[in-house]
Amino acid sequence: MCLAIPTQVKAIDDHGVATVELGGVARQISLIMTPEAQVGDYVLVHTGYAIALMDPDEAQASLATFAELAKIQDALEREASTGDRFAGTPSSAASAGVER
């Protein structure tokens, strides 16, 4: 029930009602809880209301942390002499994907 979806604000009318696209369909949502949202921003939508303004810098920071972690992990695995379970190029690791 707490499902919420990030989506981009396409337009905002005079009443703080935004037009967004959800699942390929244009919808009107209320920005009453995120009055700072501007056209072009991404908001998190739950039951017709934006409940949070997405922070692109924080998203980038998380991804940068993951990339850094991956580098450290790769270095550790090269050092480890026990087998080569996770060895290989990023693309071969990708094909062992998390989504089955």
Partner 1 sequence: MRFIDEFRDPALARRLVAQIQREVAAHPAIRPVRLMEFCGGHTHAIFRFGLRQMLEGDVEMRSGPGCPVCVTAAQDLDHAMAMAEVPDVILATFGDMVRVPGSHGSLQEIRAGGADVRIVYSPLDAIGLAHDHPDREVVFLGVGFETTAPGIAAAIMQAEQEGIPNLSVLSLHKLTPPAMRAILDAGEIALDGIIGPGHVSAVIGSNAWQFLPQRYGMACAVAGFEPLDLLSAIAALVHAVAEGEPQVTNTYARSVRPEGNLVAQHMLGSVFDVGPAAWRGFGEIADSGLHIKPSLAHRDAAKRFPVHVERVNEPKGCRCGEVLRGVVNPEECALFRRVCTPRNPIGPCMVSAEGACAAYYQYAEVIDDRP
- Binding residues vs partner 1 (CB under 8 A): 1-4, 6, 8, 30, 32-35, 42, 44, 46-49, 51-52, 54-56, 58-59, 61-63, 65-67, 69-70, 73-74, 76-77, 86, 90-91, 93-94, 96-100
- In angstroms, give the least distance from the CB of 37 to partner 1: 11
CB 84 within 8 A of CB 96: no
- Report CA 65 to chain centroid distance, whole Å: 14
Q: Which is nearer to partner 1, 11 or 51 (CB)?
A: 51
- In angstroms, give the least distance from the CB of 65 to partner 1: 8
The position carrying tokens 């920071």 is 61
| 16 Cβ neighbours under 8 A, 6+ residues apart | 30, 31, 32, 35
